[in-house]
Structure 1
């Protein structure tokens, strides 16, 4: 399997295909891309190619657009921690939210409901146990933010973050 801009992908022991690390400008780091469902890829490879290209073309404006949703997730977690008396990391305002996120090294390419989703598991300073999942629908924009649970959508809603 080969995807434009990623190059050839290698089949692993789990039946998934993975790339070599590729620079991801929006994250300022290189990531390995994994096609989680090769059969789903085969149904419409051009859609995957378009989603990967769109994702690799994203700039900081995609993060800026989703910052309020990431901050809402932060507030929900820290409101709970505060109520329970647990210590937590303070993020002074929405403009500083991404300073507290370490973007993961792996991008999973998956299909659901006829769409292509790129999912990234990240670490964040305010929720060490569950982290942060970013999902990019068709590679064009962040369509879901929340704790890492592997879900690609918020139950059919257009909400980016849903508490």
Structure 2
């Protein structure tokens, strides 16, 4: 296996589990674009991961065991203190989706059973966050085109996050059907 240095995660080293299709230059391009993402990009993506954590904690009723291993983050950017980067794969979309995605199987303190799946469309835009389920997009997972701009599909809709208008257009070529949704106060409100 190949080891990659990932600037998005502050230069952490991760394993490359699958580099996609070596014969397709778009596969390698998606990985190269991902490896050019920075810590600033990660900070910009914080709200999606924080929403996942907030939704999980609300659903689970803020279990005591979680308090022992994880403090309530002061703000969404602190959520990354509870994420452990994992192996990366490059995957081609399914069916008529000819895009390439960079997928990371990360671990997170709040959902030790399912972990954290992070998916970047063409290696550039974080387009899916949630427990690991193997699906590259929420629209594909639920067979619902209205979800094409959803990054985190929450159990409680107040925690659902969406791509910003500009990111959606740049990433997919389509304007989102809904405006980006601000997400509420999160974990602090759950205590």
Partner of 1:20: 2
Aligned-pair CA distance for 1:34: 3.3
Correspondence 1:110 to 2:91: yes
Quote the RMSD (CA, aligned, Å). 1.7
Q: TM-score, normalised by structure 2?
A: 0.67
CA distance in 2, matches of 1:131, 1:50: 27
CA distance in 2, matches of 1:35, 1:122: 15
Partner of 2:16: 33
Q: For residues 55-84 of structure 1, what are the alpha-carbon distances to aligned partners after superposition, in whole Å with 9 as ceiling and x for unaligned?
A: 1111012212211111111111001121xx
Q: TM-score, normalised by structure 1?
A: 0.77
C-alpha contact (below 8 Å) 1:62/1:142 kept by paired residues: no
SS in 2 for 1:26: helix
CA distance in 2, matches of 1:143, 1:68: 12
* Bigger share in strand: 1
Q: How many matched pairs?
A: 138
SS in 2 for 1:50: helix
C-alpha contact (below 8 Å) 1:135/1:145 kept by paired residues: yes
Q: What are structure 2's unaligned runs of at least 5 residues?
A: 140-144, 155-191
Aligned-pair CA distance for 1:37: 5.4
Q: What are structure 1's unaligned runs of at least 5 residues?
A: 1-18
C-alpha contact (below 8 Å) 1:130/1:147 kept by paired residues: yes
